[in-house]
Each structure stands twice: as structure tokens, then as C-alpha cells.
Amino acid sequence: GFKCGIVGLPNVGKSTLFNALTRTAAAQAANFPFCTIEPNVGEVAVPDERLDRLAAIAGSKQTIPTRLTFVDIAGLVKGASKGEGLGNQFLANIREVDAIAHVLRCFEDDDITHVEGRVDPVADAETIETELMLADLESIERRLQGLVRRIKGGDKEAREQERLLLAAKAALEEGRPARTVEVSAEDARIWAGLQLLTTKPVLYVCNVDEGSAGEGNAQSARVAEMAAAQGAGHVVISAAIEEEIAQLPDDERAEFLTDLGLEEPGLDRLIRAGYELLGLVTYFTVGPKEARAWTIRDGTLAPQAAGVIHGDFERGFIRAETVAFDDFIACNGEAGARDAGKLRAEGKSYRVADGDVLHFLFNT
Ligand code: GDP
């Protein structure tokens, strides 16, 4: 599955947020229980109202949402790249995630110590980014040395790696994260294989005080500005409120949200933002037994999309009967879509679109 790492300085609200995420009713949906893989790894259901609408039309007995994995990566402090705090272990954990949700303290609370003694989320973001950039520089140096022998031996791939490592190094030495390097389509595979920390997409999570959960506050506004300048995403959330919401029974939740002037839990926005950040899209399979959502990377072709369900579907792929979500709703289901000529037969080169309702035909 796809993984989003939660990072941030100590005491910014990472654990509070992670606990809320993994305790929420959506995560514990009866037929898809939240599962704790390790204490700091949790799978959450991706909220998607389209699934319920499809199930209602098709009379599906149950709905199965798709999931996203969050990893609580504690232990980042200034100096982590030099082995301070949990240092190296922390960096190794980040290497394994597909995207980074960076929690920033935007709430004032004199009882809760800030490691730097002041609330300044933009400076905090820079502190962490600097550690990640230093860690990248160090691993680049190490890898460049490791390539010397292979390049001498005429290894072409090693030479390509060296070229890209040097491009990343140049950016980092100018104080820019590696994600600012423009990479051609041909280089994309090797570039991704370098697994640099500062190439991972970032979502800033502004943890605001309870009173600012709707509109945000002055600090979160500064973060929003910074995120926009970097082309990064941001969400405003109050971890403390989310923790309360997560503990409420379903029927009390709506009222609690209304009282706070909120339309939905901030966590739903966070999960969706994480999903978008990862470049993920959803397709559906719908039948009398269940309506189910599946996750693929945007751009995935039909056979590989089928492979998410089962390897046999991919190996024996013949075609995918496809109805777009809007057509499925407008035609009141698959039969109606067929009659209206909205059911398409798509082949191996079909790029699955977000919201497609698919039925795979395959050889066994
Ligand atoms: P972590 O070190 O980043 O995992 O931070 P924690 O989640 O353990 O939070 C540190 C402290 O800040 C705890 O005492 C939390 O209860 C408190 N805290 C977290 N979020 C909020 C918030 O939105 N408002 C307030 N006032 N306190 C919070």
C-alpha cells in the first residue's frame, strides 16, 4: 500500500493526530477494521461518498473503502542528520514512505513546551527541511563514492545515476530541496530510485488551537503562504479536536461538528489531501455483494489496475468493461449505462480514470 509519513518537531501534536487518525470510526469501519501493523503504523479508510452512492444504486450488501497507511515518525530534532535524537533511524523511516505529512505547531499553549521556546511554524518547517537536505547531501556523497568503481568499469546506469546525483547536489548546495530539480521523463525511473528525502512530496499540516479549526489563524496563514510558494499542499486541523471527534459515537459526531462550525472532520480532509499528494486515484468494483474502492497511481493502465485486485486478473487480462462514475449515477446503474451506450469495452492500453466503475474480463 501507499504510505504517508507523519513528521515534525517534538510536541507539535504528531501522536495526538496519529491516534485520532487510527481511532476514528471510519478507520474502524466494521468490515474493514483499522489495523495496527506496528505501534506507529496505521491504516485508515479513505472517505469517499461516491462509494455509498454506488452501493445504494446497485443494492450492494456492503461497502469496502480503500485504505491509506500513515506512519508516525517520531524523533526528529535539530541535528538529526548528525545522529542527534533518533537521527539515523528517523531518516531511514522517512526513506520508506511515499509522501510526508509535516505537522507544524500553530497553537499557543504555555503549558506545552516548544523545543525552540517559541511558536514559529515557518522556522520549524525550515529546521526540518534543513535536516533532510543535510541528510540528502551526506547520502549523495556516499553514493557518488560508491559509483566510482562502477563508472570506471563502463557501467552506463551508474553514469546516469552520477549525473542525477550531481544535479541534486547542486540544488541542495544552493539551499534548495532536490524536488526543485527538473527531471525528464527518461530520467524519472533512476531519479526515483535515488530515494532522496527531499524529493518526496510534502503536505504541511497546521495544528491550530481549538478555536481556529475552521478558518485557521495568523500562524497557519503564514504556513499557507509558504506552502503555496513551494508548490506544496497544506491543511488546517486541530489535533485536540480531532482526538475528541474520533472518540464520539457516529450519531453525536455531526452535532459536535455543527457546534464547531465545521462541515466534516479535519482528518477526512487530511486523508484526502494525503491521497492527492501521493498522486493516487480511485476506481470502483460494484456488485450485489459489495461495492469496493481500489487505489492506483494516476496514469495506471487497465491490466495493472486489475492486478491490484489479483495477479491473475493482470496476467490473463482481456478487457475492462468501464462506466464512468457520473454515467453510472445518471443511468441508474450498469444495466442503464449499457442501454444508454455508456458502457465501454477498454483494452490493455486504457488509462484508468478516477471514478471508473470497472468489470474485468480475464483468462484463467
Ligand atoms: P508529538 O511529540 O509531536 O507527538 O506531540 P503530542 O501529540 O504528544 O502533543 C504534545 C502535547 O501537545 C500534548 O500534551 C498534547 O495534548 C498537546 N497538543 C497537541 N495538539 C494540541 C492542540 O491542538 N492544542 C493544544 N492546546 N494542545 C495540543
Domain locations along the chain = 3-277, 299-362
CATH code, residues 3-277: 3.40.50.300
CB within 8 Å of 321: residues ≥ 6 apart: 343, 344, 345, 346, 358, 359, 360, 361
Span 237-258, pLDDT tens digits: 999 998 888 888 878 888 888 8
Is residue 37 scored above 60 in pLDDT? Answer: no
The predicted model scores a pTM of: 0.86
Confidence of residue 79 (pLDDT cuts 50, 70, 90): low
Is residue 32 scored above 50 in pLDDT? Answer: no
> Is 19 part of any known ligand binding site?
no
- Residue 112 Cβ inside 6 Å of ligand 1? The answer reads yes
Is residue 24 scored above 70 in pLDDT? Answer: no
CATH code, residues 299-362: 3.10.20.30
* Nearest-CA residue for atom 27 of ligand 1: 240
Encode burial over 240-277: b for 16+ CB neighbours within 10 A, e otherwise: bbbbebbebeeeebeeebeebebeebbbbbbbbbbbeb
* Nearest-CA residue for atom 9 of ligand 1: 13
Is residue 259 scored above 90 in pLDDT? Answer: no
Confidence of residue 102 (pLDDT cuts 50, 70, 90): very high
361 phi/psi in degrees, rounded to 5: -110, 135
Is residue 69 scored above 60 in pLDDT? Answer: yes
* Nearest-CA residue for atom 21 of ligand 1: 240
Q: Is the ipTM of this complex over 0.90?
A: yes
Confidence of residue 265 (pLDDT cuts 50, 70, 90): confident
Span 156-172, pLDDT tens digits: 999 999 999 999 999 99
- Residue 15 Cβ inside 6 Å of ligand 1? The answer reads yes
* Nearest-CA residue for atom 14 of ligand 1: 112
Q: For residue 152, report the distance from its CA to the centre of ligand 1, in Å.
A: 53
Alpha carbons within 13 A on the beta-carbon side of 168: 31
> Is 31 part of any known ligand binding site?
no
